[in-house]
Amino acid sequence: MIDIKLIRENKDLVKENIKKKFQDSKLPLVDEVYDYDLEVRKIQTKADELKSNKNKLSSEIGLLMRDKKIEEANKIKEDIKKMGEEITSLEEKQNNLNAEIKKRMLVIPNIIDASVPIGKDDSENVEVEKFGEPVVPDYEIPYHADIIESVNGMDKDAAGRTSGEGFYYLLGDIARLHEAMIAYARDYMINHGFTYAIPPFMIRSDIVTGVMSFAEMEAMMYKIEGEDLYLIGTSEHSMIGKFKGQILKEAELPIKMTSYSPCFRKEGGAHGLEERGLYRVHQFEKQEMIVICKREEAMDLYNKMWKLTVDIFRHWDIPVRQLECCSGDLADLKVKSCDIEAWSPRQKKYFEVGSCSTLGDAQARRLGIRVKGEKGNYYPNTLNNTVVASPRGLIALIENNYQSDGSIKIPKVLQPYMGGLEVIKKAN
């Protein structure tokens, strides 16, 4: 949610930003907010005048009663009563207008950074940099589900019986490898100064609307029937929500945390070969990172955050690239975002394994997170980044470490988490 001062002082900037995001249907909202805000301030001025007059008259009643001017005192009491009724009416009207303003402000997109490329959708995202040389071996890389099944590492049929489509059992060394990746990512982040957390896996609706747009919520989140609770789609939501309504000390910034959680999403994706495996599922596990910082620190921290993800994947012998998200691919709260994509030697292309975003003060403003500074309180900036999400990260690791004999080489940094195991061999 942007600062309403932007609409008061520079409507054209807000409208131009909406156009850059190809959301022209939202343009009328800016003028509506502007007009409602003018009316709210006029009402406030009138209400303040009435309150001032009411207070002055109230102070006169005692003097009149002392001087036994009962009739005059009663007349003033009647005037004060009418003023009170008018003030109540004005406040009710003001509250209704403020509700209309908030409803519109929640869907007006955040102001994107000047460096964001302009484009309509993810097809116009821009490759910035590659890390590691993408290799296609001279032997065939089977589909990841077939590789995993060949080492007795997955059972989707059983998951279908217990839970339906989009769920899975990971078994044996594959399950262990999955956990090794999460554990390595956890320790890597701790060693880089992030505080480890395991957050709640369900959050209330006020946290949901504080951290994301309505469109995202509808597309992603599972609602717990009969309760004001949603299953999290990413631990970023509960981690940022942790600070709701808090006033933080400036000396404590930046706050850097890394969190583990299972994640739950509605998305089933398109049907076809890629959906037979683990690429699009309703449940997965993720190591996340969030940062709360001063505005002037945000961009530097943003660049450090996505590079940490790159480093981890390179430690697993996986080539990756950074892809800058264009304006039309940014969710409404985001100022700037990039995807980290891993190389698939089977598909001979990259696929998304994580994303990093800076959201300005939008989430802090929605959730009432403030910082006590030398010149008064202010809203901090919030950032988030996927450290590693499995099973997508698992798919990338398996494909890039698949060997010609059907075995999966375990990267050296993960071997200690696998009890020293160096290779997952094909089942007999």
229-272 pLDDT per residue, tens: 999 999 999 999 999 999 999 999 999 999 999 999 986 544 44
**Which pLDDT value is given to residue 406?**
96
Mean pLDDT, consecutive 10-residue stretches, the chain (428 aa), reads 93 97 97 96 93 82 73 81 90 95 94 97 96 96 95 93 92 97 98 98 94 78 94 95 97 97 77 64 95 97 98 98 97 96 97 97 96 95 96 96 97 98 92
Q: What are the residues facing 243 on neighbouring strands? A: none
24 exposed, middle or buried (CB, 10 Å; 0-12, 13-18, 19+)? exposed
Q: What is the pTM of this model?
A: 0.89
* Span 274-302, pLDDT tens digits: 557 888 899 999 999 999 999 999 999 99
**Which pLDDT value is given to residue 273?**
38
**Which pLDDT value is given to residue 271?**
43
d(CA 169, CA 251): 45
**Which pLDDT value is given to residue 78?**
81
Q: What does the domain layout of the chain look like in residue ranges? A: 4-105, 122-424
Among residues 16, 319, 316, which one has the least CA distance to residue 178? 316
Nearest-5° Cα angle at 410, 408 to 412: 155
Angle between helices 70-105 and 27-66 (to 10 degrees): 160
User: Which amino acid is located at 81 in the chain?
Assistant: K
**Which pLDDT value is given to residue 165?**
86
d(CA 19, CA 13): 10
Q: What are the residues facing 273 on neighbouring strands? A: none
Q: For residues 228 and 205, is the Cβ–Cβ distance under 8 A?
A: yes
d(CA 334, CA 363): 9
Q: Which CATH number fits domain 4-105: 1.20.1090.10, 1.10.287.40, 3.20.20.370, 3.40.50.720?
A: 1.10.287.40
Q: For residues 178 and 170, is the Cβ–Cβ distance under 8 A?
A: yes
**Which pLDDT value is given to residue 64?**
73
413 exposed, middle or buried (CB, 10 Å; 0-12, 13-18, 19+)? middle
**Which pLDDT value is given to residue 275?**
57
d(CA 360, CA 110): 8
**Spelled out in words, what is the top-level CATH class assigned to the domain 122-424?**
alpha beta
**Which pLDDT value is given to residue 415?**
98
Among residues 422, 405, 404, which one has the least CA distance to residue 413? 422
Which is it for the CA torsion 49, 50, 52, 57, positive or negative?
A: positive
